Amino acid sequence: MKYGLSILASVAAFGLTAQPALAADYAKQTMDLMKADFRSKGPATVEGVLQQDEAQHLCSAYPAPDKRPKKLAAKLEAEQLKLVKYPSDGQYIGRWQEGEKIAQSGRGMQSSDKPGSPNGGNCYACHQISKAEISFGNIGPSLYQYGKLRGQSEGIVKYTWAKLYNSQAYSACSNMPRFGHKGILDEQQLKDVMALLLDPASPVNKD
């Protein structure tokens, strides 16, 4: 039987690939089954879903945060931080209006998407952000008044960029997608989302 890849693709895109450690032969059988039964379509490829990088391997091996060796988690975070690419022109802040649209959009990385069409960030699925949007998830902390509370120091700006670019740089096996690292959002989109969080004119930072 053939299944669409969209659900699996969403799971992979949004960083939820951690599975309980499986006995080696059981894991191999599962892989063989997946390779045989799923097919690539559009941006959702079998390889993209099944091939784990080092970080995903570690998170699959230790799905329970309290059983994950602290040293390994710290090493993973340091390695992920090294993979962050900061903006090539030194400008971190784009337009909050565009950032709001990106935060609202849950489109992307699915078998039904046209290759090359821009992805959304789906931020509201996990975060409260602006006050006007009352439909949001709470897997992640509220980001309402993020810039007002944190300010715009170089440290905060760089931390926020790195968090968006590669969430695991600060939190091993984070549920938050690695937006830049995984090519979900491009540099301009990241700048626009930065503006939504940090620009004093953004509704996020108004009362």
Nearer to ligand HEC, 123 or 157 (CB): 123
Distance in angstroms (rounded) separating the CA atoms of residues 83 and 121: 20
Q: What is the number of alpha carbons within 13 Å of residue 147 lying toward its C-beta?
A: 23
Nearer to ligand HEC, 93 or 103 (CB): 103
The candidate with the shortest Cα–Cα distance to 140, out of 190, 104, 174, 181, is 174
| Stretch touching ligand HEC by CB under 6 A, among 31-39, 89-97, 111-119, 140-148 | 140-148
Q: Which of 94, 108, 147, 177 binds ligand HEC (CB under 6 A)?
A: 177
Site string for ligand HEC, 21-50 (x = CB under 6 A): ------------------------------
What are the residue ranges of helices labelled H in 62-183?
70-82, 96-104, 146-150, 154-165
Which H or E run contains 11? helix 6-13
Site string for ligand HEC, 146-165 (x = CB under 6 A): --------------x--xx-
Q: Which of 6, 45, 105, 171 binds ligand HEC (CB under 6 A)?
A: 171
* Rounded least distance, CB 134 to ligand HEC, Å: 18
Distance in angstroms (rounded) separating the CA atoms of residues 153 and 144: 18
Q: What is the chain's length?
A: 207
Q: Is 152 exposed, middle or buried (0-12, 13-18, 19+ CB in 10 A)?
A: middle
Per CB under 6 A, 91 contacts ligand HEC: no
Nearer to ligand HEC, 4 or 140 (CB): 140
With H, G, I as helix, E, B as strand and everything else as coil, classify residue 38: strand
Both structure tokens of 157 = 């700006």
Contact residues toward ligand HEC (CB under 6 A) are: 14, 103, 121-123, 125-127, 139-141, 143, 160, 163-164, 167, 170-171, 174-177, 179, 193
